Amino acid sequence: MAVLKTVLYLLVYPGILFLFVYATFCEWFDRKVYARLQNRMGPTHTGPWGILQPVADFFKLMSKEDVVPEKADKILFTLLPIFGLAIVATAGLLLPIWHSNEAVVRMISFPGDIIVLLYLLSLPTLIFFLAGWSSTNFFSTIGGTRVLTMLFGYEVPLFMAVLSPAILANSWRLSEIALFYQKKPLLILPNLLGFVIALISVQAKLERTPFDIPHAETEIVGGTFTEYSGKKLAFFRLMIDIELVVSSGLVATVFLAGFPGGLWLGLLNFIIKTLFVIFFLSLIRALTSRIRVDQVVSFAWKYLAPLAILQLLVVILIKGLLL
């Protein structure tokens, strides 16, 4: 029975099946909110209110011809989408959603899991860079270079912003951080600046407007993914959707007190709080336009990093005076 529960945990909930279903739903939600903010309809035809459009897009790509460029590094070009999908799916297992198996909890949840989760969320950037480089396409190479350049801008502010609530909670374990703020909800307020910094940094990590420079269609066709098609492109799109869910789940865990409750209440909390975060990401996307890659790095180091340091100082001061 324990083995069966572990398999269900890994493959069904909160494993790859749940991540697939919820990630495609979040893509639909993001596209719908983004469209309505621009006075458009968004997905409408496939399923009720167009809710099945991302699923239809995924399976349509799976049925398309899978083309590999003649001069590409064929092994790397083929394996990268699979590795990327596996990485973000593994990161999703670290989120402190309701757990059905205490043995799995002890295996998955551990001191320092917040650091591991941040590390796993950093790897897709390397995957995207290698994807562009391995395809040998000029536009893809430029896109991959832009991906790596942006990393040096947003990653430090993101780490400092996310780790500030952990310092105040005196724990590097996601479940303990969430429990701390569930018991002391007023201490969420000093982390509001970090919440804003984390939202902007996550927007950059996900390469969403105004940080969609690596795949700017008007400049470099499709950037990193110019040469990708068929199943590989489907895996990359699913990878990005799951990364959106995991990043939103991380922000909700450390800044919004996690997802208290059992199976159903914990799931409901997870859905509400992650959609709350995604709504703000969609709002940023709708209100801004693309900036240059040098402006991304400049903005990150001139504004985000100093504000993240300020957030850290406030947290340390509060911890010294009150806790």
Q: CA dihedral in degrees (75, 81, 86, 91; nearest 10)? A: 130
pLDDT at 101: 45
List the domain range (segments joined by +) for residue 37: 2-322
pLDDT at 98: 66
pLDDT at 29: 96
Overall number of domains in the chain? 1
pLDDT at 323: 62
pLDDT tens for the 323 residues of the chain, in order = 667 777 777 777 778 899 999 999 999 999 999 999 988 988 888 889 999 999 999 999 999 888 888 888 888 888 999 999 999 999 998 998 865 445 445 556 788 899 999 999 999 999 999 998 888 888 888 888 888 889 888 999 999 999 999 999 999 999 899 999 999 999 999 999 999 999 999 999 998 889 888 887 777 777 788 888 889 999 999 999 999 999 999 999 999 988 887 778 888 999 999 999 999 999 999 998 888 888 989 999 999 999 999 999 999 999 888 76
Contacts 24+ apart (CB under 8 A), 293-298: 293/146, 293/149, 293/150, 293/213, 296/149, 296/150, 296/153, 296/154, 296/204, 296/211, 296/213, 297/149, 297/150, 297/152, 297/153, 298/153
Burial class (CB in 10 A: 0-12, 13-18, 19+), 309: middle
Which residue in the block uniquely carries the two structure tokens 């709350």?
276
65's torsion region: left (phi>0), alpha (psi -120 to 50) or beta? Answer: beta
Q: Are 91 and 16 in contact (CB under 8 A)?
A: no
Question: Which ranges of the chain would DSSP assign to H, the alpha helix?
Answer: 2-11, 16-37, 53-63, 74-93, 102-108, 113-135, 138-169, 174-183, 192-205, 217-220, 230-255, 263-287, 293-299, 305-322
CA distance 50 to 32: 9
DSSP 211: S
CA distance 215 to 131: 12
pLDDT at 204: 93
153-209 per-position pLDDT tens digit: 899 999 999 999 999 999 999 989 999 999 999 999 999 999 999 999 999 999 888
Which residue in the block uniquely carries the two structure tokens 């990485």?
87
Q: Does the reported pTM lie above 0.95? A: no
